[in-house]
Amino acid sequence: MFTRDSLNADAHRIEPCERRLALSASLAGDLMLDALGGTVLGGTNLGGTGDDLDLQHNVPVPPPAELHDDTDTGVADFDTTDLRGAGQTVVVIDSGIAWDHLAFASPNGGTGFGPGYRVVGGWDFAEDDADPYDDGPTGFHGTHVAGTLAGKTNDFTGVASDADIVALRVFDDHGNSQLQWIESALQWVHANRNAFDSPITTVNLSVGAALSDANQAIAMQMLEDEFSLLRQDNILVFAAAGNFFDGGDGNTGLLYPASSDSVVPVSSIDGNGELNEFAQRQSDIFAASGRSVSSSVPDHVFGWDGRVDDFAALDGTSMASPQIAGASMLVRQAMIDEGLSPTADNILARMRDTSIEHTDPTTGQTYRTLDLAAALVGQPATQATIDHFDGSVESEHVQLDLRDGIVMRVGEKTYFIDPAHDGAIVIDVGGGYDSLSILGSDAAERLILNPSGDEVGSSTGSLSTNAFTIQLRGFEKVAFEGGGGPDRASLFDSTSSDHLDSRPGLATLKGVGFEYTVTGVPKVYVHATAGGNDVAFLNDSSGDDSLSVRPQFTSLRSDDSFQLAYGFERVYAYATSGGNDIAEIYDSAGDDTMSISSGRSIITGPGYHVSASGFESTIGYATGGGNDIARIYADETSSNWDVATDRVQWTGQDAAVRIARGFERTEAFEQFEPIELIPLSTGVASTPWWVEDPKIRAERDAEASRSLFAALGEE
C-alpha cells in the first residue's frame, strides 16, 4: 500500500483512480488478461507545474467478469424509471471513449462520433486533435465510465442512457497526462456548455491525486477557478474519492479534485452497503457500488476480434462516481418535468434530502446512498387543502401555478390549493428576501402589489379571479406571467424614488428593496403616490397608439393594450415601434414651456416634466392655468401654418399635425429659425372666450378627462 510519502518520492504520475493497464500493441489481449489478475504497471508525468504530483490508483483490478447482461450500479431503482437523462449532455474527462462500442449505438443502430451519434463531440487534449478515442495499449477507463453513465444495449443499460455524451481525452496511449490538459478540458466544458443540441449539465472526472500541501496548492491554483465557474453554470462535476484508504491510520482524506468545494466527491460500497475497504472517506459523502461493476471496454482489451462489444467488471471509486453523476441527471430531468428550474445546489439538496444515511464503523463518519425513486419524486406533495401558508425568516422562492387548478411550490414541496375555499387564501412568507413567480391561466386575473403594505418594511398584494382571492404578504420580488386572459395588474410604488419601464406585454416597477414584473397582461395600472421622485418610461406597440398626458395622469393605449402611469414626476413616452401615433399633452397649473418637433415633444413646469418621442402628431393643451409658452418646430421652410386666436397648427404633407392650444404665447420655427405668424402670437394672447365662462370651461376639462381615460374602465 502506498503512503503519501512514498507517493511523493515515487515516479511522477497522474492517472485515473484505478490502475491503468500497460500493454504492448502486439500482445494486448494476453497481457491484458495477465494484468487484470496481477501487477498493474504504468506511470505518467504531470507536466507544466514544476512539481511532481501523483494520482493514486493502487487498488488491484479484479479479473474481468464474463460478458453478462446486467450491471451492478448500486443506485437503487434506476432501471425502474422512465427518466433516462434525455435533453442533457454528460462529459467524460478521462482516457477517451471507444465511441464505436455497441453500448454507444444511436437509436438507428449506428455507431460513430459527432452530431447524430451518442458521442456527440469532444477533443483529445493529449494529442491535440478532434478524435478522443480510447486507444490502446492502456486505454479502457473512459469507455468503462461512459458505459456506466449512459451506455445502452439490449442487455445492458447505463444510468442516464438517453443522455448525449462528450469525450474529453486527457491521457495519451501510454497513460500519461498533464494538469494543463485537465484544466483545458474544464475550460472547454464552459465554452461549449450550450454548443450541442442538449446542454452540458454534468461532468465525470474519475481521476485524483494524493498531494502534499505544496502540490495541492499548485493544483488548486490551476483548477479551482474552472470548477467554480462550472458550478456557476449549474454544471455538476463528480469525482472519484480515491482508492487508498488504509484503515484510518494516515491517508483517509479525499484525493484532489474530489476534495474541491466545487466538486461532488463519490466513494464506493460493497454488496452489503458498507464502504469498500479501499474507498476514501469523508463525512456525508455520496457512495455507490464499487465492486465488480460491469461496463463497456474497447475491443483491444480482449484481443481485437473486430466486434466492439466487450464488457468487463472493475472495482473502484471510479466505477461509483458515474453512477451518482448519472443519477443527478435523472433528478434534474424530474425537477424540470415538475416545472422547476433547478440549480446545481437544488439538485444536490434533493439527492441528499431523499438519501439514506449510514455510519462507517471504521471511522464513525457518515455516508449516503441514494434512494433514487424518492429523489425522482422529491418530497411527497402535500395534497390537503390549505388556506394559509406561513414562510420562514429565510429567503424563499414560491411558484404559484394557475394553469391547472392552483399549485404552489416552495422549494422542493408542492401544495394544492382548493379554489372553492370560503374566504381569502393567505400566503405569508415572513422575513428574508422572498420571490414569487405566478403562471396565469386563460381566465381573467387581477393582480395588486404594494411594497409598502400596512407596516413600514412590509409588502402586500392580492391575486384574484371570480372564483378565489389569494392574499400575498412579504414578497420583495414578484413576476406574473399572464396566461392569455383579460388580465389586469395594479402596481404601487414605495416611499422612495421608483422606476417604471412599461411596454405592451411587459412592465417592470422597481425601487429600493422591491421589483415587480408583469408579462402578457393587457392592462397595467401603476400608481406612484407614496412619495419620492418617480420616473416612468412608456413604449408604444407596433400599431396605432394614443398618448394622453396631464399632471399625475399618463396613459398610452393601442387596440390590444393599455398602460397607465399615475402620479409620476417625470414621464418619458416613446413611439418607435411603428403605426400612426398621436400624443395629447396637457399643461400644469403653473407656468409651463412646451416644445413640439418631429423627433420629440417636451413640456416642463413646476414639478412636472413630460417627454414624448417619435409620435407622428402632437397636440399641446394649456388649460390648467399659469403663463404658458409653446414652440413648434417644422423641418422644412414654407410650411403649412394655421393661426387662430387660441390655436397654432402646423400640418405636414403626410397629414401629421403639431398643435398648440390655449398658450399665452406660441412661437414657430422652420429649420430652427423663428418665423413670423399672421396674426402674430407674440406677447400675451387675448383670453379665449371659453375661459371666461366657468360652465364651458368645466365641460372642456371634463371632455379632456374622458379622452384621457377612454380605455381605462373600472380599475
Mean per-residue pLDDT for 424-434?
A: 85
E runs forming strands in 482-607: 488-492, 499-503, 506-511, 514-519, 523-527, 535-539, 546-550, 553-557, 562-566, 570-574, 582-586, 593-596, 600-605
pLDDT of residue 522: 97
Residue 94: active-site member: yes
Q: Which of 467, 468, 536, 464 is nearest to 507 (CA)?
A: 536
pLDDT of residue 250: 53
Confidence of residue 210 (pLDDT cuts 50, 70, 90): confident
Mean per-residue pLDDT for 299-314?
A: 92
Cβ neighbours of residue 568 closer than 8 Å, sequence gap 6 or more: 500, 528, 534, 535, 536, 554
Residue type at position 266: V
E runs forming strands in 316-421: 356-359, 366-369, 388-390, 397-401, 406-410, 413-417
Distance separating alpha carbons of residues 462 and 454, to the nearest angstrom = 14
Domains detected in the chain: 4-375 (3.40.50.200), 386-507 (no CATH), 534-715 (no CATH)
Distance separating alpha carbons of residues 379 and 397, to the nearest angstrom = 17
Distance separating alpha carbons of residues 367 and 471, to the nearest angstrom = 43
Distance separating alpha carbons of residues 376 and 328, to the nearest angstrom = 10
Mean per-residue pLDDT for 237-251?
A: 80
Confidence of residue 430 (pLDDT cuts 50, 70, 90): confident
Is residue 210 within 8 A of residue 4, CB to CB? The reply is yes
CA distances from 696 to 20, 308, 486, 687, 702 (A): 98, 95, 38, 14, 10
Mean per-residue pLDDT for 458-484?
A: 91
Tens-digit pLDDT profile for residues 75-95: 545 555 789 999 999 999 999
Annotated active-site residue in 295, 318, 441, 494: 318
pLDDT of residue 204: 98
Q: Which of 282, 336, 437, 287 is nearest to 86 (CA)?
A: 336
Mean per-residue pLDDT for 578-604?
A: 96
Residues of the chain with pLDDT > 90, as a percent, come to: 65
pLDDT of residue 421: 63
Distance separating alpha carbons of residues 541 and 574, to the nearest angstrom = 10
**37-51, 300-314, 549-563, 643-657: least confidently modelled range:** 37-51
To the question of pTM greater than 0.75 for the whole model, the response is no
Is residue 645 within 8 A of residue 633, CB to CB? The reply is no
Using the structure block, give the residue that is written with the C-alpha cell 417604471: 500
SS3 531: coil
Tens-digit pLDDT profile for residues 7-34: 232 323 444 555 433 222 222 222 222 3
Top-confidence residue, 23 or 148 = 148
Is residue 101 within 8 A of residue 320, CB to CB? The reply is no
SS3 629: strand
Query: Does residue 425 carry a pLDDT above 70?
Result: yes
Mean pLDDT score across all residues of the chain:
83
Using the structure block, give the residue that is written with the C-alpha cell 479534485: 257
pLDDT of residue 37: 32
Distance separating alpha carbons of residues 472 and 374, to the nearest angstrom = 31
Mean per-residue pLDDT for 442-460?
A: 79
Is residue 248 within 8 A of residue 362, CB to CB? The reply is yes
Mean per-residue pLDDT for 465-469?
A: 90
Top-confidence residue, 461 or 24 = 461
Strand-pairing partners, residue 601, are 596, 612
Vertex 271: Cα angle to 267 and 274 (nearest 5): 50
pLDDT of residue 459: 81
For the chain, give percent helix, strand, coil, nearest 5: 15, 30, 50
Distance separating alpha carbons of residues 147 and 294, to the nearest angstrom = 9
Top-confidence residue, 134 or 76 = 134
Residue type at position 598: S
Tens-digit pLDDT profile for residues 260-306: 999 999 999 999 899 999 999 999 999 999 999 999 999 999 888 88
Confidence of residue 422 (pLDDT cuts 50, 70, 90): low
SS3 584: strand
Annotated active-site residue in 101, 141, 397, 527: 141
Annotated active-site residue in 94, 124, 360, 581: 94
Mean per-residue pLDDT for 620-630?
A: 96
578 Ramachandran zone, left/alpha/beta (phi>0; psi -120 to 50): left
Query: Does residue 591 carry a pLDDT above 50?
Result: yes
Top-confidence residue, 243 or 422 = 243
Mean per-residue pLDDT for 389-399?
A: 80
**244-253, 254-263, 682-691: least confidently modelled range:** 682-691
Mean per-residue pLDDT for 307-327?
A: 96
Query: Does residue 431 carry a pLDDT above 90?
Result: no
Query: What b/e string do you get for 304-326 counting C-beta neighbours within 10 Å, with b at 16 or more?
Result: eeeebbbbbbbbbbbbbbbbbbb
Is residue 203 within 8 A of residue 324, CB to CB? The reply is no
Query: Does residue 410 carry a pLDDT above 90?
Result: no
Mean per-residue pLDDT for 604-622?
A: 96
Query: What b/e string do you get for 612-643 counting C-beta neighbours within 10 Å, with b at 16 or more?
Result: bbbbbbbbbbbbbeeebbbbbbbeeeebebee
Query: Does residue 528 carry a pLDDT above 60?
Result: yes
9 Ramachandran zone, left/alpha/beta (phi>0; psi -120 to 50): alpha
Mean per-residue pLDDT for 632-657?
A: 91
SS3 413: strand
pLDDT of residue 212: 80
**77-81, 115-119, 559-563: least confidently modelled range:** 77-81
pLDDT of residue 393: 66
E runs forming strands in 155-205: 164-169, 200-205
Confidence of residue 636 (pLDDT cuts 50, 70, 90): confident
Question: How far is C-alpha 57 from the chain's CA centre?
Answer: 38
Mean per-residue pLDDT for 357-371?
A: 92
Query: Does residue 41 carry a pLDDT above 80?
Result: no
Query: Does residue 385 carry a pLDDT above 60?
Result: no
Confidence of residue 432 (pLDDT cuts 50, 70, 90): confident
Cis peptide before 64 (omega within 30 of 0): no
pLDDT of residue 412: 64
User: How is residue 693 written as a grid cell?
Assistant: 365662462
Distance separating alpha carbons of residues 293 and 622, to the nearest angstrom = 86
Cis peptide before 674 (omega within 30 of 0): no
pLDDT of residue 387: 72
Is residue 242 within 8 A of residue 210, CB to CB? The reply is yes
Burial of 180 (0-12, 13-18, 19+ CB in 10 A): middle
Confidence of residue 195 (pLDDT cuts 50, 70, 90): very high
Distance separating alpha carbons of residues 79 and 88, to the nearest angstrom = 18
Which of 31-45, 52-66, 229-243, 429-443 is the most confident on average? Answer: 229-243
Residue 642: active-site member: no
